A and B are shown apart, each in its own frame.
Chain A
């Protein structure tokens, strides 16, 4: 790839892209809204309808789209760096499935008094467990097949337990509800979710970004990385914890949204010249851009009821995966 663009310039362009898409996200919706007027009203504290819709519905949706996309992008890049495999992403490896299970259990069984924070915490617990399991089964630079098999196992496990949990849930309508939720959506979320998950995600992001140099050194294998002074045990814990915080919170907000963590690092890896450490921040920005774009598409397409976000991303992601397999075949 003859990408001559420097890392700094790439980050700048991606950030710009995110900002443009965020503005786009604010101006797309189900009812005509004069954005300029709404912004002016909101800033001046007048609670007109337009300002209300902007602040209570559109801004949370835009923010959550960016936050979730960033978290999934960076977590995908981190997992690929840790497992040294370009197919490792939270969806394929079962991390999102287990996060959803955690959220389902915590939510439907009314744990911890039903305080709002339990949902992302449940998701995080599920995601952490999955990452542990994954590392236990397939870790240490295991081959692609082992990784995929481990992911299938964890996904099946999560799916089975989710069905069980729903079966036993006190709410008889749980099944229908969770099916919709699992398809992934950003519709009608409130600012409360933003306040809830942004600190958790922020901590996750910081933890992951700081593993950059260690991930670079892992390119040469675990022994070499250790010889360069990196504590591998601590690195793994940091990656697992960071991924859990990012993916667990994201799933708690939107349900299961896959493929962001797979597609984005792949697209951007040539632009950072294959360096896993540099891929982290860039994948975050790319993930935010992709999710915002998909959410704009979901609201712009004249299909009602609203297409689920997870569905749109899967429609983009699956052919991408096929293309990847095709390319691997022709290379082999």
Chain B
């Protein structure tokens, strides 16, 4: 886990340095931009003039999975295939560090600049990514506005007086949770929750056994929003009967789109969790 942490940090630094060199190349010329990643889709759509958006991924079209579905319908769509991307004749491509490696590899062999962004792991990462994309699309003002709005909303929540911090844990499909060094962890902390996965020194997206969840009797159990989707083995763990029997645990669902990517949605995530935290704190002190 530590090794992974370290490697991710290196990747992040590499990505940003790649970005800076790429930025100097593309600064004046980016007019047709393609995005290959859900998170970069969002930043591109929010910050760039629509005319500059050559295409975004099909994932952004889904209202349950994307924060910018209404914006995405207005632009061309790609499925991450190298042929489609090249056919769009972009002069800049934004991708995630875990996006289709083969397509990205292919693109790098062309003259098209490819800038990769890793998954944001903190508020500072989010701010930096917004700044970077804003610079690339020559919309620095919009970028600053976005950052200010996010900061303002989060600060408002962080400033609230708190009598206590309810304990919380995130339970994702396959028993995964969010631990130290993740954006979601920082969101939970900002919202006034005490993430027990962080306390137990679970890194990144490690696993948490149901036993541990049950025996800690957390105040708030956060699960992924269950879409009315096709059956999934992974969500079965979330329907284990023991969860409904933990009478003192409140179960709330959070759609992944609110905290998987860096954007204004993270402020909404903080606000939502704060509402829950305050509610729980009120209940407990009222007892």
Direct chain A–B contact by Cβ atoms under 8 Å: yes
Cα–Cα, bound, A173→B232 (Å): 8
- B229 and A171: CB pair below 8 A? yes
**B234 to chain A: which residues have CB within 8 Å?**
173, 177
Q: Which of A26-34, A232-240, A272-280 contacts B (4 or more CB under 8 A)?
A: A26-34
- B230 and A188: CB pair below 8 A? no
- B233 and A114: CB pair below 8 A? no
- A177 and B173: CB pair below 8 A? yes
Q: Is B174 an interface residue, CB under 8 A from the partner?
A: yes
Residue of A whose beta carbon sits closest to that of B229: A171
Cα–Cα, bound, A180→B234 (Å): 10
Cα–Cα, bound, A52→B175 (Å): 19
Which applies to chain B's interface (DSSP): helix, strand, loop or mixed? helix
What is the minimal beta-carbon distance from A168 to any residue of chain B, in angstroms? 11
- A53 and B215: CB pair below 8 A? yes
Most chain A C-beta atoms within 10 Å of own C-beta, residue among B206, B212, B233: B233
What is the minimal beta-carbon distance from A103 to any residue of chain B, in angstroms? 9
Pick the contact of B232: A29, A30, A57, A177 (CB < 8 A).
A177
- A192 and B207: CB pair below 8 A? no
**B210 to chain A: which residues have CB within 8 Å?**
57, 187-188
Q: Is A181 an interface residue, CB under 8 A from the partner?
A: yes
What is the minimal beta-carbon distance from A10 to any residue of chain B, in angstroms? 35
- B212 and A47: CB pair below 8 A? no
- A171 and B230: CB pair below 8 A? yes
Q: Is A178 an interface residue, CB under 8 A from the partner?
A: yes
Q: Is A11 an interface residue, CB under 8 A from the partner?
A: no
**B209 to chain A: which residues have CB within 8 Å?**
29-31, 187-188, 306
- Residues of chain B from 132 to 189 with CB closer than 8 A to chain A in the complex: 173-175
Pick the contact of B233: A181, A187, A191 (CB < 8 A).
A181
Q: Is A190 an interface residue, CB under 8 A from the partner?
A: yes
Cα–Cα, bound, A58→B211 (Å): 9
**A117 to chain B: which residues have CB within 8 Å?**
none
Q: Is B245 an interface residue, CB under 8 A from the partner?
A: yes
Pick the contact of B211: A31, A107, A171, A192 (CB < 8 A).
A31
Pick the contact of A305: B206, B216, B231 (CB < 8 A).
B206
Q: Is B26 an interface residue, CB under 8 A from the partner?
A: no
Pick the contact of A171: B214, B231, B245 (CB < 8 A).
B231
Pick the contact of B242: A50, A181, A190, A306 (CB < 8 A).
A190
- B212 and A30: CB pair below 8 A? yes
**A31 to chain B: which residues have CB within 8 Å?**
209, 211-212, 215-216
Q: How many residues of B contact A (CB 8 A)?
A: 26
Q: Mark A43-65, 1 if CB is under 8 A from B, else 0.
A: 00001011011001110000000
**A114 to chain B: which residues have CB within 8 Å?**
231
Q: Would A177 and B174 be within 8 Å (CB), given that A169-B230, A170-B230 are in contact? A: yes
Q: Is A135 an interface residue, CB under 8 A from the partner?
A: no
Most chain B C-beta atoms within 10 Å of own C-beta, residue among A52, A178, A180, A306: A52
Cα–Cα, bound, A170→B217 (Å): 35
Q: Is A4 an interface residue, CB under 8 A from the partner?
A: no
Most chain A C-beta atoms within 10 Å of own C-beta, residue among B175, B230, B240: B230
- A52 and B242: CB pair below 8 A? yes
Cα–Cα, bound, A187→B212 (Å): 12
- A52 and B173: CB pair below 8 A? no
Q: Would A174 and B215 be within 8 Å (CB), given that A52-B242, A56-B245 are in contact? A: no
Most chain A C-beta atoms within 10 Å of own C-beta, residue among B207, B210, B211, B245: B211
Residues of A within 8 A of B (CB): 29-33, 47, 49-50, 52-53, 56-58, 107-108, 110, 114, 169-171, 173-174, 177-178, 180-181, 187-188, 190-192, 304-306
- Top 10 closest pairs, chain A to chain B, by CB: A56-B242, A170-B230, A305-B207, A30-B209, A31-B215, A171-B230, A177-B233, A30-B211, A188-B210, A177-B234
Other 15 A-B pairs with CB < 8 A, given A57-B211, A171-B230, A173-B232: A29-B209, A29-B211, A31-B211, A56-B242, A107-B231, A110-B230, A114-B231, A170-B229, A170-B230, A171-B231, A174-B232, A187-B210, A188-B175, A190-B240, A305-B206
Residues of B within 8 A of A (CB): 173-175, 206-207, 209-212, 214-217, 229-234, 237, 240-242, 245-247
| Sampled A-B contacts (13; CB under 8 Å) | A29-B209, A30-B209, A31-B209, A31-B211, A31-B215, A52-B242, A58-B211, A107-B231, A110-B230, A171-B231, A171-B232, A181-B233, A187-B210
